[in-house]
Amino acid sequence: MKVVEDSITTSIGTVSFTVKAVEGDLSDARIILIEIPPLLPEGMELESSIAALLKVKSSVAIKELEFTCAWNQFEGKGDGCSGERLDAWEWEKDNKLVVIGTEDGDWLALRLNLGAISRENYPVSMDKNRINIEIAEYPSNKELTLHFVVAQNTLPEKEDCSCWYAVDVAHNRITEACK
């Protein structure tokens, strides 16, 4: 099993991105980190916004792929702040806010044609400062792309929810930025 990993340092700690799979060829898997300028409502500001894009194309079907975003040695408690088409969580420490978001499971299943999803096979979850995107099976010879967006600000934010808006980025905007 091949594991691909990269990380970024935020104002409250380091976040690692990891991909692994039980079956499939991950030899060409890449995690691309790129600053992504946010599209914010008027009056909102942001200190930084970074997208992590996973790109992989396997010559054989991928099974039980897991793309993870996890805090390294950070013990603060995260709180969910999801919205329509967005699964997101936020963490605060020392007057700093970090929000991490991705496509919600319903939108992800629709985009990837994963079929019907339920509570038992919902592809996005959070567990102990770790966000997981799990894909049970993905066909061979078809590029798979998944993403996380990490936004940060000093508290109090000039306008509430600036980080939240910043992590709500359309997947195609991230893939275009990473070409």
**Maximum distance among all alpha carbons in the chain?**
49
Every domain of the chain and the residues it spans: 4-177
Handedness of CA 149, 65, 78, 88 (dihedral sign): positive
Summarised one tens digit per residue, pLDDT across range 165-177 is: 999 999 999 999 9
pTM for the whole structure:
0.94
Predicted local confidence at residue 2, as pLDDT:
59
| Per-chain mean pLDDT for the chain | 92
The set of residues, in sequence order, having a beta carbon less than 8 Å from that of 31 and lying 6+ positions away, is 4, 5, 6, 17, 19, 52, 53, 54
Summarised one tens digit per residue, pLDDT across range 55-80 is: 999 999 999 999 999 999 887 778 88
